[in-house]
Every structure is written in structure tokens, then in C-alpha cells.
Amino acid sequence: MVVRVKKVTEEAADEAERSPLLGLARRVLLAGIGAVALAQDEVEAFVNKLVERGEIAEQDGRKLIREMVERRRKEAGKAEEELDRRVEELLKRLNVPSRSDIEALSAKIAALTRKVEELKQG
């Protein structure tokens, strides 16, 4: 987990250099992920204590943890999709071109450059 967070943090630093707003959004998301991971660790410790005390069966404890992890995974996916949607809307409102817009313009420039070169030679 630590290695993944470090990698994501390095990616966030790269993004922050390119877009301060996106960098800030990523840091907020990473903070949320850290809080969720901490909460998951706490829940697992709590369930393990219940199992040790014999208050719930080990199999039920594993099932409970599995269900919690799956629910967290679904919620994290929804949150990521919502964040992406909101960032896209904000960038659109700020009139910031998307990657696909820039790629389309680059393709048009390349095509025009080829035509100009053909006209020069012909």
C-alpha cells in the first residue's frame, strides 16, 4: 500500500506542476483515500478482536471484512468518477482545452503542414 501511495503521490506532484487545480484535487482525493485506508484498518482490527473474544465466528468476521472492502471499492469508484466529472466541468467552464482537443488540433496542424509542403514542392 505504501509503495502505491508513494507512486500516486509522485504522479500527483507531476500533475500539480501542469495544473495546480488538478494537483489540489488529487491531494484532496489522496487524503480521502488515506482516511478510508485508516478506517479499514480500524474495522479489521475491531472485527479481529470480536473473533478473538468469540463474539463472532472467524468465517463471519472474514465475510464482514470482505463485504466492507467491496463496499469501499465501489464507493471509491463512484467518488473517482464524480471527481473526474466535476474537474471536466470546471475545466470546460474555465475554457481549458482537453487532451483530445489538443490532439485534434495537433492532427490538423500536421495535415496542414503536409499540404503546405506539397504545395511548396509542386
Query: Which three cell numbers, joined as nine digits, stand for 39?
Result: 478506517
d(Cα 42, Cα 50) in Å, to the nearest integer?
12
Q: Supply the pTM of this predicted model.
A: 0.45
Give the burial string for 29-61 (b: 16+ CB within 10 Å, else e). beeebeeeeeeeeeeeeebeebbeeeeeeeeeb
Is residue 61 helix, strand or coil? helix
Give the residue-averaged pLDDT of 56-64: 84
- pLDDT, one tens digit per residue, over 1-57 is 444 444 444 554 554 455 677 777 777 777 777 777 777 788 888 888 888 888 888
Average pLDDT, the chain: 79
d(Cα 53, Cα 23) in Å, to the nearest integer?
45
Give the residue-averaged pLDDT of 83-87: 85
Bigger pLDDT: 63 vs 14 = 63
